[in-house]
């Protein structure tokens, strides 16, 4: 089998920032044609987040390979006809406009679904299409705050945001999976559907464990840095040579093995203060001091060997520069290159792998790179969609 699952699927996306481009790039990875509609005056504002990647934005490079860029001012006289011809040939329409903007532009889901019954529409917003927060600004950090992620991330002294855009990634992931489900449903029914995904709903879903813990336990999980709020020992520990190792003891059987095989302190396994996880959490500071006293006399290599011998889950705490040279990534060939306006760039392969079928890894487009070709394809090569009339 040589083709990709979404070969022949066309996606039109009025997208910017992270969530929607994350969803559509995954569709492109699987073979879909993604036409990215961008404002002519700068395009997707993620293009200008930074200039770290040889003058290109690291976010844009990550999210927009394998797409075609169509520069189109959606308020220009030519825009309605361009969009109509695009959408009559499309399978999926994705947008992450501000609430109400799609309707004002004639691109609301209800109108499109009435005109194009087979079209799948996906709307991505901050808080959803209704409710008191409908029109609130919804940048990733704001959603992390409202969904409570900040309250459980960080140290006892200070909350911290996730180091990656968790709300955006969550919403993009749900949009991607929702679109795949809708495409499958359309194969059976012949009819498209509307999908609505919000950053807030997505991140609240990811907060399921701490919300349940709080509702039924009466208190929220404590912020515990790199430690686990509800399991001990579980977190970053340092060997005598400075090597940082994350270890995870998940149950009492593993605790006994950890005491015997790693610490060489079998007496701790039966210590009343550490006998089960509840007691280990209650005496976490004392527990960690006992562990540190042993680990201080070991090198990182010696500690990892003992952890292997005891079958205790563990990992190195790596800096990003070390991840770039990670032996697992190297062994599996997980880096490749993609073309871009700045030349060839390194990129990770998609997480979804299909043996015998290479993912699509086409270039990152420059703004409006495909405008003329797309207009010719639509028999609109005389149209000028790039600017609206003065007003």
| pLDDT for res 391 | 36
- CB atoms under 10 Å from CB of 59, counted, come to 23
What are the residue ranges of helices labelled H in the chain? 19-29, 58-63, 79-89, 101-104, 109-115, 140-146, 149-152, 166-189, 199-206, 208-217, 252-257, 277-282, 284-295, 300-309, 320-323, 327-331, 371-377
Give the domain ranges of the chain: 10-207+335-377, 234-316
Contact yes or no for 262/255 (Cβ under 8 A) = no
| pLDDT above 60: residue 1 | no
Work out the pLDDT band at 387, boundaries 50, 70, 90.
low
Helix, strand, coil content of the chain in percent (nearest 5): 40, 15, 45
Lowest mean pLDDT among 33-37, 152-156, 173-177, 386-390: 386-390
**H/E stretch holding 235:** strand 234-238
pLDDT tens-digit readout, 12-53:
999 999 999 999 999 999 999 999 999 999 999 999 999 999
| pLDDT above 70: residue 390 | no
- Any idea which architecture 234-316 has in CATH? 2-Layer Sandwich (3.30)
pLDDT tens-digit readout, 201-259:
999 999 999 999 899 999 888 887 777 777 889 989 999 999 999 989 988 899 999 99
Q: State if pTM tops 0.95.
A: no
Q: Which residues participate in catalysis according to the annotation?
A: 228
- Any idea which architecture 10-207+335-377 has in CATH? 3-Layer(aba) Sandwich (3.40)
Indicate the average pLDDT of the chain: 92
Q: What is the dihedral of CA 210, 211, 212, 215, to 10 degrees?
A: 120
């Amino acid at each position: 089998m040589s083709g990709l699952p979404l070969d022949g699927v066309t996606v039109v996306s009025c997208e910017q920032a992270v969530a929607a481009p994350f969803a559509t790039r995954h569709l492109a990875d699987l073979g879909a044609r993604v036409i990215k509609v961008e404002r002519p005056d700068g395009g997707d504002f993620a293009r200008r987040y930074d200039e770290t990647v040889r003058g290109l934005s690291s976010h844009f490079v990550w999210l927009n390979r394998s797409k075609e860029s169509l520069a189109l001012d959606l308020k220009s006289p030519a825009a309605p006809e361009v969009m109509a011809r695009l959408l009559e040939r499309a399978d999926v329409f994705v947008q992450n406009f501000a609430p109400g903007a799609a309707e004002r532009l004639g691109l609301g889901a209800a109108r499109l679904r009435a005109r194009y019954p087979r079209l799948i529409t996906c709307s991505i917003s901050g808080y959803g299409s209704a409710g008191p927060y409908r029109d609130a600004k919804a940048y990733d950090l704001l959603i992390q705050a409202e969904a409570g992620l900040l309250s459980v991330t960080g140290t006892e002294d200070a909350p911290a945001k996730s180091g990656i855009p968790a709300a955006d990634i969550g919403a993009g992931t749900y949009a991607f999976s929702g679109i795949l489900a809708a495409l499958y449903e359309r194969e059976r029914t012949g009819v498209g559907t509307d999908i609505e995904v919000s950053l807030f709903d997505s991140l609240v879903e990811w907060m399921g464990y701490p919300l349940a813990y709080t509702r039924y336990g009466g208190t929220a999980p404590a912020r515990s840095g790199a430690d686990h709020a509800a399991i001990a020992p579980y977190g970053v520990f340092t060997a005598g040579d400075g090597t940082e190792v994350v270890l995870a003891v998940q149950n009492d059987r593993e605790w006994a093995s950890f005491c015997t095989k790693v610490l060489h302190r079998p007496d701790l396994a039966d210590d009343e203060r550490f006998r089960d996880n509840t007691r280990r959490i209650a005496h976490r500071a004392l527990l960690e001091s006992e562990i540190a006293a042993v680990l201080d006399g070991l090198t990182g290599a010696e500690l990892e060997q003992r952890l292997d011998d005891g079958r205790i889950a563990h990992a190195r705490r790596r800096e990003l520069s070390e991840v770039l040279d990670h032996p697992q990534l190297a062994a599996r060939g997980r880096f490749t290159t993609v073309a871009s306006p700045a030349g060839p760039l390194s990129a990770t392969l998609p997480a979804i792998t299909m043996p015998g079928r290479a993912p699509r890894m086409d270039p990152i487009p420059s703004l409006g790179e495909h405008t003329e070709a797309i207009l010719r394809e639509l028999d609109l090569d005389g149209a000028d969609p790039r600017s609206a009339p003065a007003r």
